[in-house]
Structure 1
Amino acid sequence: MRLRHLLLALVVVAIWGVNFAIIKLGLRQVSPLGLGVARFFLAAFPWVFFIRRPDVPLRLLAGYGLMIFALQFGLLFTGMKIGMSAGLASLILQLQVFFTIGLSVVLLGERPSVWQISGALLAFCGVGLVAAHVGGEVTLAGLALLIGAAAAWGGGNVVSKRISQTNASVNVLGLVVWGSLIALPPLLIVALVLERETFLDSFTGLDWVSAGSIAYIVYLSTLFGFAVWSRLLGLYPVSTVAPFTLLVPVFGFLGSAVLLGEPVQDWKLIASALVIAGLCLNLFGPRLFKRRAPAIDPPPSQG
């Protein structure tokens, strides 16, 4: 990978990691579903008038928008509001990798490898450690919603696989813009029903911190991040680009410590190590095994 592309990849994962602290700042004034509505409205408009709708079946586009946007971020923002620190949220959400594998087995008939199963078990041990420290900045409800958000992301990834099978050259930025448009109406309806006055009051006298948080989430994390990432995936194999996402929780904890003053206790480091080790096992296990496997001499000829 060329140096400038390497730096771009690092910039994007840093933006995505710090994004969790930015979300926490935005949630101080804006309601969780209100933040989601603002995100999807600004990610969709005015861009839908300039970016063509992706050439994929409408049912797949709708499934993508509802799962990977409306459901995932509705659960993520609500979970972070009611009881999940920004750093831990950046970690728990990475479970989407294993939910993607599990749903692919159930829905697409794929067979998981021993590395994927081992990695999932290791990562969920890390989640168990987080669950053992419920109280204070982490609540059981918040943890459950974050796991649900990771599952929704995994479901969206399965839809993405179906989309790529339909159109291998689909415009990823177009998916983001049009998926945001699809996510907007259901999330707005749910916000008006569940949050009511809180939702409407969120945007009254919006301070610069909340406005800046929304701008960061929409323009840097969503539009810029996905545009650059899709460009990198077009230039290099997935196996070259994907490992950079392992740094998202690292930047997540750094961002939450610097911007929010969140403490990083030993148990958080251990939980992070377990989850990241599980992700590494899933990503690099097969290649490491092949590289270290001893050569086996062919059996002697019987002739």
Structure 2
Amino acid sequence: MPADPPNRKPHLDTLASTLLVLCCFLWGLNQVAAKWALPEIPALWQAAARSVGGALLVWLWARVRGIALFEQDRTLAGGLLAGTLFAAEFACIFLGLQYTSASRMIVFIYAAPFVVALGMPLVARAERLTPLQFGGLVVAFAGIAAAFAEGFTRPAVAPDQWIGDALGLLGGALWGATTLAVRGSALTHASAEKTLLYQLAVSGVLLGAGAVATAGPLPLQLSALAWTSLAFQVVVVTFASYLLWFWLMRHYPATRLASFTMLTPMFGLVLGVLLLGEPLTGRLVLGLATVAAGIYLVNRR
């Protein structure tokens, strides 16, 4: 079990909370962007393009800043594992979006905080949740379920919707497993840039191979909307927001960070109202308040 870095903080401060809210907003918008691009860019090609483009940006960023990426520091095994889990996660998400709605997908992805909360005591005993904090995690997830309950009572978006839902749940479990792989290996001492580059480079190779094998050639002509969606996913989400996320993981408790990510589906709902014209209901407002209460319980000192 690797020792925690000496500069890891026991609680989330104002900076961490602000950065987390920004990341959650971007991740909520990302599901809408991915869904917009799917009619033109096949699922695995879209996932592979995100990873490859993000990897190139991370490499350029590290080179400009003089950050060493290729020294021997015993992170290879953890990096390969994290990258493989990362590839499987996004394969599930992008393939699943072909069968279910973006709003349903984002609910199932956020099984990840439970995987982290249950598994983190095995890799970092200091991050064990108290019964009250675990109760806060349950309260937060209950808020998400309440906000999305209306969607579960409507007609299915497709005949095979259950396939997309199942892939979303599996993607969430894989996200949680990726977090545990990073915290339970030598990657916990690596820079955010190196941690992210491992995942993007390995997943880019694996997803690209999957796309070549199953999705046919990459389309050469895309609409402005598809290009904008892909650029947003590569530059803003895959490069900038993930770099922030892994920096936060290196300096703050992973269980507290994971609980905060439950804001993402709430942002997804709000963005659906603003961008897709979906109704803003009392259940949504109640869900937002419940998620806020759950996150407070998990992060209270």
Q: Normalising by structure 1, what TM-score?
A: 0.73
Output the amino acid matched with 2:98.
K
Q: Kindly indicate whether the alpha-carbon contact (under 8 Å) linking 1:98 and 1:116 is maintained by their aligned counterparts in 2.
A: no
Q: For 1:256 and 1:130, how far apart are their aligned partners in 2?
A: 14
What per-residue deviation string (whole Å, max 9, x for no partner) do you get for residues 8-61 of structure 1?
554433222211211111213111111111111111226447361473431110
Alignment partner, residue 9 of structure 2: none
Change (3 A) 1:13 1:132: closer
Question: Is the CA contact (8 Å cut-off) linking 2:189 and 2:250 kept in structure 1?
Answer: no
CA distance in 2, matches of 1:237, 1:74: 27
Counterpart Cα distance in 2 of 1:160 and 1:151: 14
- 184-193 vs 119-128, greater mean Cα deviation: 119-128
Partner residue of 1:209 out of 203, 225, 243: 225
1:17 aligned residue (28, 41, 45): 28
Match of 1:63 among 81, 101, 105: 81
Q: Could you tell me which runs of 5 or more consecutive residues in structure 1 were left unpaired when the two chains were aligned.
A: 288-303
Residue aligning to 1:218? 234
Return the alpha-carbon distance in structure 2 between the equivalents of residues 222 and 26 of structure 1. Answer: 16
SS in 2 for 1:83: coil
Q: Partners in 1 of 2:193 and 2:233 — Cα distance?
A: 15
Closer, same or farther: CA 82–273 of 1 in aligned 2, 3 Å: farther
Change (3 A) 1:232 1:72: closer
Mapped partners of 1:41, 1:195: distance in 2: 17
Matches within 5 A, 1:241-256: 245-256=261-272
Contact 1:44–1:181 (CA<8 Å) still a contact in 2?
A: yes
Any conservation in 2 of the 1:116–1:282 contact (CA below 8 Å)?
yes
Q: Distance in 2 between matches of 1:7 and 1:274?
A: 19
Partner of 1:74: 91
- Deviation at 1:134? 6.5
Residue 54 of structure 2 is matched in structure 1 by 43
CA–CA distance in 2 between the matches of 1:275 and 1:172? 28
Amino acid at match of 2:236: L
> Secondary structure of 1:81's partner?
coil
Residue aligning to 1:94:
110
Gaps of 5+ in 2: 1-11
1:157 corresponds, among 154, 173, 179, to: 179
Mapped partners of 2:90, 2:219: distance in 1: 19
Q: Distance in 2 between matches of 1:121 and 1:242?
A: 13
Greater Cα shift, 234-243 or 69-78: 234-243
Would the alpha carbon gap of residues 193 and 240 (structure 1) be closer, same or farther in structure 2, given more than 3 Å must change? closer
Which residue identity lines up with residue 213 of structure 2 in the other structure? V
Structure 2 SS opposite 1:205: coil
Residue type matched to 1:35 in 2?
A: Q
Q: Percent identity?
A: 22
Rounded to whole Å, the distance in 2 between the matches of 1:4 and 1:122 is 25
TM-score (ref. length: structure 2): 0.74
- What's the secondary structure of 2:168's corresponding residue? helix
Per-residue CA distance 1:126-175 (angstroms, 9 max, x = gap): 55947943733372222111111110001101101113xx3554111222
How many residues are aligned here?
Answer: 276
Matches within 5 A, 1:192-203: 192-196=212-216, 200=217, 202-203=218-219
Question: 1:183 deviation in Å?
Answer: 1.0
> Whole-Å Cα distance in 2 between the matches of residues 62 and 251 of structure 1?
32
RMSD: 3.7
- TM-fit CA distance, 1:212: 1.1
Structure 1 residues 191-224: Cα deviation after superposition (integer angstroms, max 9, x where no partner): 233333xxx2x52311111111111111101211
Deviation at 1:261, TM superposition (A): 3.1
2:238, 2:209 → 1: CA distance? Answer: 22
Tell me, yes or no, if the aligned pair for 1:25 and 1:213 is still in contact at 8 Å: yes
**SS of aligned partner of 1:65:** helix
